[in-house]
Every structure is written in structure tokens, then in C-alpha cells.
């Protein structure tokens, strides 16, 4: 049996919450009976009488305690021989937040596996991305998730396939390839072995999604509450016209990603909110189907779907003692979809207004980006890649200067482009933020604010703090940056969330 630190509701009333250690089956069963969304994704329940495993929020008939076995991950439940519930759909459960993981390494490894489950990533390559040996990775991962990285990746593939069978009209062959099985035979064998039914049989038991041949729609779960409108407000203010759009309660953008064979695939993405189901609905153009795992991983990162809002609240609620309503429960940390695009946008925003930076970024996209016919108003360009900038002849300022970008910022953008191409800096969620911030600050034109902002949004670092930010200083007027930084110590390890909450008060 594994141990969890959970908030158990003694009377299932929000006014009486006690933090207790839950080392026994009875405690976990009580959490299961509560159907509290705060437990979603933290553990799974295998039911021996049915042979299925469920999320702790499942609304199927409650099984007897003697028929329940509890697991720390979906992969562990599947390795024990259980198949996923068709009612609560474990593939929709939110992932683990940083606070849930015993080690940051295991947590980062799980994120990389989710993103690369369709690419054939080897364990040696995974360990290389994380800067450790594959032996050490297997040991740490096994201690945290009770399964090997290979078994975890297999579960990622199976759950992605299950989601597509339930929510899309894609052929079984297409689903097999998108999910990373490589062949229809391998997919059918794995599916039958793990779930004891064929993919077509599972599809018949599920409600088929209503997508057309022009797009594919997949649901991604989160832990409520989720301040969707505030997230859209943040993204809308910083959207790059022609590349991104926020309207009618949805986020839309163009995208270009590289598949396992090195080919670049282009298309569009639309994200909307389904409040009643605690999910985001993600629609992508069919052209992006071969890189669907990458798309979904980036959407999870952009919209911070791994977040545990109650863990954040426990530390940051004291912000309201400084200023009423400074902290908002459920406010997420905006990530990014494309790290290079976001880095360029951050550099352009140095010492100019947010709107002016978006205008400059739009000029870059229209001049050096790729024209894309999406059929969607406002989505016209793919933002240029790092390589596009390095291939420009002559001084970079000669190209970006006419667009209104200073020579200094032009040089910084070129430096970032080379940092991406040379892999000098790791901008992914697998990065060690403190190390990468030091490397970022070696680049011309990258100071503390820009480096920490990039770490916050690109690397998903939860503990960045921008004490020199203009908005932060306005909120704490009368305090010097060093004093603001000292004040922020009480908000570790969620200072990035504290920063976003401070901005939200402006």
C-alpha cells in the first residue's frame, strides 16, 4: 500500500477540513466515497468484482471496500490487470502536479513520456533529456509511479487510443498510428491483452464523438476550480494577431510541429471549456493528427492542467491578508504552446506596452512567418522558427529594424534562435529552471525579469518571482524590490502563481 497526504473532509463540509495521513485502505475508501474532485488523478481504484479501475470521482455504483484495491497511477492499475472504466474514463483525469511527486525527476519524466508516447522515444533518449542515467531514472520512476517508464508510456498510448475511440470518428488504423503502436496488429494485440476486448468492441460501447473529417476533438481533464475567463483574458492580452485569437470563450491558434520522421506538420487548434465535465475540449485540424500527443501535451502545459489548485491555495490564501481578493482560488499559471514564439514575445515586451509587443510580434509573423490557409478568421500565419532567423543574411537589425524593433532586441532574438538550435538552453518542462535561467542571462539583452518570465511560462516553473516587474511594484508601492522579494519567501514553492494573482489585481 502506498501513502498519500490528502485533505479528508470529516463531514464532507468545506468548513471542516483536516489534513491527515492516509496509510490504510479505509482512509482511501472514504476519499473514494466522497467523490471529491480534489482527489482526482491522485489515486485510482481497481474493482475486483468488475475487473475495471476508476477515478475517485466516478459516479458508478459504489463497490464494497473488500472489492477495492488502490493504485497511485493508471499505469499501475493496468499492470495489475484492470481495464479503464467507460463511465469515469481515467484518460480524462488530470495529471500530477509538482507538489504530488516524490521527486521532480519522476514528475518531469512523466510529462515527457506523455508528450512523446507516439514518437518511439527510447529510455536512453528520455534519460538524456532529463540529464540522468537510464538506470537512475528507472529506479526513481518506479519508486514514484510503481511501474517502469516503458509501462507508463504503454498506458499513455492505450489511454490516448481509448479517448480517440470514444470521442472521434477516426479509423482504428489511424488511431493505432497516432497513439504510437506502429501497426494495427500491435495495437489490437496490446488492446486485447490489457483491456480484454477489441478496439472496435470498445467503440461500440462508447458514445461516438461528433467530429468531422476536417478535425479531431479530444477532452482533457483538470482539477476544479478553474478560472477559465481569467486565463483567456491573460492570453487575449498577449495574443499575436494572425497567429492566435481569443473570441467567444475559445482560444484558437496556428501550429507547426515536427513528427517522428522529421517532417513539419502545420494546422490549427481550438480550445474551449466544458464546465460541467471539468474538461477542456481540444479540436485540431486533421493535418496535425500524426503529432496529436505533442499537441495535447502542449495544451496541458499552456492551460496548466496538471495544477492542484487546493495545494496552491493552502500556501497563497494568506495573500488576502495583505490585500483583500489578491488571491483567487483556481487561477492557473499560463504556460505556452511554442517556447520560441513566447520567448520572442517576451523580449519584444521589454519596456513597451503589452499591446505594442503584440503588434511587433504580428509584424514578424506576417513578414517572416509562413502563410497558412486555415479557413478561420484571424489565423493566417505560422510564427517563424529559430532557423528562419538564423538564415537571414547580414545584420539582423537590417531585417527587424524596419518592423520597429530596436537593434538591441533584434540581437537578443537572434541569440535566442541560436540557443534553441544549438540546444544550449532547455526550454521544456524537463528543464532544471535555476540552471537554465543562469544560461539565459548569459545571452545579450536577457536580464532577471525576462529570464524568470521565460522559466515561468516555458518551463512551467512554479517558483519564479518577478520582484522588479512594473505591475508587482505598483501593487506593493512603498516597498523596494528586495523587500518585495523577501515578502515572497512565504509563498514558496508557488511564487509563479503568486505573481499571476498579483497581476490579476491590477
Catalytic residues: 469
Instruction: Give the distance, in angstroms, between the CA of residue 476 and the centroid of all CA atoms in the same chain.
Output: 31
Please name which of 93, 107, 43, 94 lies closest in space to residue 307, comparing C-alpha atoms. Answer: 94
Distance CA 130, CA 127 (A): 5
| Residue entry with cell 474551449 | 272
Please name which of 23, 283, 74, 275 lies closest in space to residue 169, comparing C-alpha atoms. Answer: 283
Nearest 5°: the CA angle 105, 91, 279 is 100
Helix (H, G, I), strand (E, B) or coil at 150: helix
Distance CA 479, CA 64 (A): 58
What φ, ψ does residue 340 adopt, rounded to 5°? -65, -45
Instruction: Give the distance, in angstroms, between the CA of residue 170 and the centroid of all CA atoms in the same chain.
Output: 24
In total, the chain counts a number of residues equal to 506
Q: Which three cell numbers stand for residue 100?
A: 504530488
Write the CA distances from 436 to 230, 269, 419, 429, 430, integer angstroms: 29, 29, 11, 11, 11
DSSP state of 241: T
Helix (H, G, I), strand (E, B) or coil at 178: helix
Write the CA distances from 277 to 178, 249, 308, integer angstroms: 25, 16, 17
What φ, ψ does residue 308 adopt, rounded to 5°? -105, 95
Distance CA 501, CA 496 (A): 9
Amino acid at each position: 500500500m502506498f501513502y498519500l497526504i490528502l485533505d479528508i473532509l470529516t463531514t464532507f463540509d468545506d468548513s471542516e477540513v483536516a489534513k491527515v495521513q492516509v496509510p490504510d485502505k479505509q482512509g482511501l475508501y472514504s476519499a473514494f466515497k466522497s467523490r471529491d474532485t480534489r482527489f482526482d488523478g491522485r489515486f485510482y481504484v481497481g474493482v475486483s468484482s468488475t475487473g475495471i479501475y476508476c477515478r475517485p470521482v466516478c459516479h458508478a455504483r459504489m463497490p464494497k471496500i473488500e472489492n477495492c484495491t488502490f493504485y497511485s497511477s493508471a499505469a499501475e492499475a493496468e499492470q495489475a490487470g484492470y481495464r479503464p472504466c467507460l463511465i469515469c474514463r481515467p484518460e480524462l483525469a488530470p495529471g500530477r502536479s509538482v507538489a504530488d511527486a516524490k521527486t521532480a525527476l519522476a514528475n518531469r519524466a512523466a510529462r515527457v513520456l506523455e508528450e512523446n508516447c507516439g514518437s518511439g522515444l527510447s529510455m536512453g533518449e528520455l534519460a538524456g533529456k532529463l540529464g540522468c542515467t537510464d538506470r537512475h531514472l528507472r529506479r526513481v520512476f518506479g519508486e514514484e509511479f510503481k511501474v517502469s517508464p516503458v509501462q507508463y508510456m504503454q498506458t499513455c498510448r492505450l489511454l490516448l487510443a481509448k479517448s480517440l475511440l470514444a470521442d472521434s470518428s477516426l479509423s482504428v488504423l489511424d488511431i493505432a498510428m497516432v497513439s504510437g503502436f506502429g501497426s494495427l496488429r500491435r495495437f489490437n494485440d496490446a488492446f486485447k491483452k490489457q483491456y480484454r476486448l477489441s478496439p472496435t468492441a470498445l467503440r461500440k460501447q462508447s458514445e461516438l464523438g461528433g467530429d468531422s473529417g476536417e478535425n479531431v476533438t479530444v477532452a482533457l481533464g483538470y482539477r476544479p476550480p478553474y478560472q477559465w475567463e481569467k486565463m483567456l483574458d491573460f492570453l487575449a492580452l498577449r495574443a499575436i494577431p494572425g497567429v492566435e485569437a481569443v473570441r467567444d470563450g475559445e482560444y484558437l491558434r496556428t501550429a507547426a510541429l515536427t513528427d517522428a520522421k522529421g517532417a513539419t506538420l502545420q494546422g490549427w487548434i481550438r480550445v474551449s471549456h466544458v464546465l460541467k465535465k471539468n474538461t477542456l475540449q481540444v479540436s485540431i485540424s486533421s493535418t496535425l493528427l500524426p503529432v496529436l500527443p505533442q499537441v495535447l501535451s502542449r495544451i496541458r502545459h499552456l492551460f496548466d492542467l496538471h495544477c492542484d489548485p487546493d495545494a496552491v491555495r493552502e500556501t497563497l490564501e494568506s495573500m488576502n491578508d495583505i490585500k483583500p481578493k489578491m488571491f483567487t482560488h483556481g487561477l492557473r499559471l499560463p504556460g505556452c504552446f511554442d517556447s520560441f514564439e513566447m520567448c520572442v514575445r517576451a523580449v519584444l515586451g521589454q519596456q513597451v506596452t503589452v499591446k505594442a509587443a503584440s503588434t511587433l510580434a504580428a509584424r514578424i509573423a506576417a513578414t517572416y512567418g509562413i502563410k497558412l490557409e486555415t479557413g478561420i478568421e484571424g489565423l493566417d500565419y505560422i510564427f517563424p522558427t529559430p532557423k528562419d532567423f538564423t538564415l537571414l543574411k547580414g545584420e539582423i537589425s537590417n531585417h527587424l529594424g524596419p518592423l520597429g524593433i530596436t537593434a538591441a532586441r533584434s540581437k537578443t532574438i537572434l541569440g535566442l534562435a541560436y540557443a534553441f538550435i544549438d540546444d544550449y538552453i532547455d526550454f521544456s518542462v524537463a528543464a532544471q529552471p535555476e540552471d537554465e535561467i543562469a544560461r539565459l542571462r548569459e545571452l545579450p539583452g536577457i536580464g532577471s525579469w525576462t529570464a524568470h518570465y521565460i522559466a515561468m511560462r516555458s518551463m512551467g516553473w512554479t517558483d519564479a518571482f518577478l520582484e522588479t516587474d512594473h505591475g508587482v511594484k505598483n501593487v506593493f508601492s512603498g516597498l523596494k524590490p528586495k523587500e518585495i522579494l523577501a515578502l515572497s519567501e512565504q509563498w514558496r514553492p508557488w511564487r509563479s502563481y503568486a505573481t499571476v494573482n498579483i497581476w490579476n489585481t491590477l
